[in-house]
Amino acid sequence: MSRTKTIARPASSHAKALEQRHLVIITGISGSGKGSVLKVFEDLGFYAVDHLPVDLLSKFVELLHHSPEIEKAALVIDIREGQRLETLPANIKQLRRSGLPITLLFLEASDEVIKRRFSETRRPHPLAADATLAQGIQAERKALRRIRDAADLVVDTSKFNVHELRSFITERVVHANASHALRIAVSSFGFRNGVPNDADLVFDVRFLPNPNYIPEFRDRTGRDAKVAKYIRSFPQTREFMDRIAELLKYLIPHYVDEGKSYLTIAFGCTGGQHRSVMMAETMGKLLQKAGYPTKVTHRDMPRR
């Protein structure tokens, strides 16, 4: 029996299963980067909605509870809602009773940074139609004070660049609710047909004993229990699986920290029928067991 080591989830006291639904409500000061943060969530697999009316929030939460297609969503609700925005904290408190994890994220920035951003984009401040930009900023801060106090996380984006903001949001919001946001594809292939162009990590398993030379196994694949048992019977196979598991255990959390949304791992042997297939199947199961959403494919294995 193989002694392959497990691939543990990244350690986090707040980690939860990725399958758990999650709603992030983004609000805050105009010019603080709400649109950029929404794009970060969209890149991380969240269903993104800009400027959802407060009155539709309860209906959207109901959709999340029953939709098999949408498990994670991020919404922007801001000062454009006018006085209706004042009801947001009470609405969220009520909706949390349904059991849906909801994160209220409040973004802000210094007055100087907000003024610069509005100057660069030449967009009008929503509360400065009949006032100066400075007056509009102060009026908005006052109007959003209660919502800021109710936020789960307040983020000052003044000193963040785009990459730093993405890393911060990924770590502090996405990871706080889910074990990770990385989707993993594990595939097998045959070197005789070329290396997959989309592979991030490629492992050559041609050094393992080849079942193709065993007449009983020649027309089977690495998904066959007897073929897999034969390949695993060699000490170099078991050691290789242990070492790959340890490597992935080390690498994957770093990919997550860098904000990578997808990782493709490819195992290659000569024809893509036996050794690479067994390795892809084994590692795919380990990753799934660790909680990573993983899809296993076999590029060159014949369909049976």
Note the pLDDT tens digit of each residue in 164-173.
888 888 877 8
Residue-wise DSSP of 61-107: HHHHHH-SS-SEEEEE--GGGGGGGGGHHHHHHHHGGGT--EEEEEE
Look up residue 304 and give its DSSP letter. Answer: -
Reported as a single tens digit per residue, the pLDDT across 95-108 is 888 888 888 999 99
- In sequence order, which residues have a C-beta less than 8 Å from that of residue 274 and are 6 or more positions away? 210, 211, 212, 217, 220, 221, 222, 227, 231
> What confidence score (pLDDT) does residue 49 get?
94
SS3 116: helix
Contact predicate 37/107, CB 8 Å: yes
Contact predicate 194/253, CB 8 Å: no
| Residue stretches of the chain with pLDDT short of 70 | 1-20, 175-181, 258-261, 303-304
Beta-strand pair 183-190/72-76? unpaired
Rg (alpha carbons) of the chain, rounded to whole number: 25
Contact predicate 153/106, CB 8 Å: yes
If one counts every other C-beta atom within 10 angstroms of the C-beta of residue 183, the result is 17
**The token pair that represents 104 in the structure block:** 């209220």
| Strand stretches in 205-274, DSSP E | 262-269
What does pTM read for this prediction? Answer: 0.54
> What confidence score (pLDDT) does residue 304 get?
47
- In sequence order, which residues have a C-beta less than 8 Å from that of residue 190 and are 6 or more positions away? 268, 269, 270, 271, 272, 273, 276, 299, 300
Residue-wise DSSP of 146-212: HHHHH-SEEEE-TT--HHHHHHHHIIIIIHHHSS---EEEEEEEEGGG---TT-SEEEE-TTS--GG
> What confidence score (pLDDT) does residue 3 get?
54
> What confidence score (pLDDT) does residue 180 get?
44
Q: Which CATH number fits domain 22-177: 1.20.210.10, 3.30.390.10, 1.20.1260.10, 3.40.50.300?
A: 3.40.50.300
> What confidence score (pLDDT) does residue 19 get?
41
**How is the chain split into domains, by residue range?**
22-177, 183-298
> Distance between CA atoms of 131 and 137, rounded to whole angstroms?
10
> Distance between CA atoms of 65 and 21, rounded to whole angstroms?
8
Question: Which residue carries 């904000």 as its tokens?
Answer: 259
> Distance between CA atoms of 43 and 263, rounded to whole angstroms?
14
> What confidence score (pLDDT) does residue 126 get?
87
> What confidence score (pLDDT) does residue 168 get?
83
